[in-house]
Each structure stands twice: as C-alpha cells, then as structure tokens.
Amino acid sequence: MVEFFTNNLATIITAIVVFALVAAAVVKIVRDKIRHKSSCGCGCANCPISGSCNKKNTDDQPV
C-alpha cells in the first residue's frame, strides 16, 4: 500500500489540487447565484436582456 502511494504521489497531489480548484469554482458560482450577482461583472446597463434576469421582488420593499 505504501509503495502505491510513493509511486503515484505526484498524481495524487495533482488530483487533490485540481479537485480543490473545481470545488472552489463551484462554491463561487453557487454563492454568486444566491446573491444574484451578474456573471459578467460589468453591470446590466448595456445588456440586451437586462429586463429578464436578476429581477428583484419589489413587493417586499419598504416604502
């Protein structure tokens, strides 16, 4: 068993790093989706479909 780990240590470390990067990207995407952040980061002023995405519920807003 130890021989397996010593022979494949570089592959195991690379796989762990790749998995960590993919997990971090997925967590960021999910957090941005929950917070209704735009994926482009430049705002919706010039976006042709700005009226159909990221709609906020205005019924619950205080007057």
3-60 pLDDT, tens per residue?
999 999 999 999 999 999 999 999 999 998 888 776 666 666 777 776 776 555 555 5
pLDDT band at residue 62 under the 50/70/90 scheme: low
Domain around 13: 2-34
Q: What domain count does the chain have?
A: 1
Q: Decide if 61 is inside a domain.
A: no
Q: Decide if 19 is inside a domain.
A: yes
Q: Decide if 40 is inside a domain.
A: no
Place of tokens 């941005």: 32
Q: Are 36 and 54 in contact (CB under 8 A)?
A: yes
Give residue 8's identity as a one-letter amino acid code: N
Q: Decide if 59 is inside a domain.
A: no
H-helix segments, 1-63 = 2-7, 9-34
Q: What is the pLDDT of residue 27?
A: 96
